[in-house]
Amino acid sequence: MPTIAARPYDFAFPARGLGLIVIDMQRDFLEPGGFGEALGNDIGHLAGAIAPARRLLAAFRARKLPVIHTREAHLPDLSDCPPAKRQRGRGSLHIGDAGPLGRILVDGEPGSAIVPELAPLPDELVIRKPGKGAFHATSLGRILPQLGISHLVFAGVTTEVCVQTTMREANDRGYECLLAEDATASYFPAFKLAAVEMLVAQDGIVGWAAPVEAIETALGAL
């Protein structure tokens, strides 16, 4: 099988069993006026992941490998948003409230859209998820076997929350998981570093990690 130079050791994958999941690269998290900024975060820490994620998308698209995007967004009536989630925090805005990018984390609002630089192609799947993990209350668990995917590459935000949660969910379901290190980011750089180390610890207890360049090199040789 082909391999990607990775930590803690090379990531072997079947040429036609590899898929990419890009998690929550949404305006609400990455742009001014969104939920991330409303929580008091420095959104500038996420900007650096956009260009590497774009390169990763290009590499997968060039080889016609499956690409899945996720968006964390709730129904307009918030029936899929538990009160404990909506009420969390002491900021001025909460999920469902009106903000500069529309109602926060509500499906169909401008802020729920993926940033233009990483816009999905018409034939790429986009999964709306109401939770942090992409398997919770979604069709992802049914879709991956239908696509013949056994190995997953992950990108997106934030590393220690939605990305790590989804990688752990995938690992529990038997998928081999690789994190594209420079195509993921956190509002707290130290949290990203810690999350990556947790994922690859103990010989890859959750998965592997590699730079986008190593993934590009491996896919380019297919």
Full DSSP string of 65-125: --EEEEEE-B-TT-TTS-HHHHT-SSSS--TTSEETTEETTBTTSGGGSBPGGGPPPTTSE
Give which of 124, 121, 98, 126 is closest to 33, Cα–Cα: 98
Q: What is the distance between the alpha carbons of residues 182 and 179, in angstroms, rounded to a whole number?
A: 9
Radius of gyration, CA atoms only, the chain: 17
Architecture of the structural domain at 16-220: 3-Layer(aba) Sandwich (3.40)
pTM over 0.95: yes
- Determine whether 42 is an active site residue: no
Q: Please give the Cα distance from 114 to 111 (Å, whole number).
A: 8
Q: What is the mean pLDDT of residues 69-83?
A: 98
Beta strands in 136-175 (DSSP E): 151-157
How far from 171 is each of 71, 87, 90, CA to CA, in Å? 20, 30, 33
Active-site entry in 28, 81, 129, 132: 129
- Among the listed residues 28, 81, 132, 162, the single catalytic one is 162
pLDDT digits (tens, 9 = 90+) for 12-59: 999 899 999 999 999 999 999 999 999 999 999 999 999 999 999 999
What pLDDT score was predicted for residue 53?
99
CA atoms within 13 A on the CB side of 200: 18
176 vs 190: CA distance, rounded Å: 25
Is residue 177 annotated as part of the catalytic site, yes or no? Answer: no
Token digits of residue 22: 């890009």
Short-list 190, 191, 198, 192, CA closest to 171: 198
162 is catalytic: yes
The string of pLDDT tens digits covering residues 96-126 is 999 999 999 999 999 999 999 999 999 999 9
Question: Does residue 92 register a pLDDT over 80?
Answer: no
Whole-number Å distance between alpha carbons of 10 and 216: 14
pLDDT digits (tens, 9 = 90+) for 136-173: 999 999 999 999 999 999 999 999 999 999 999 999 99
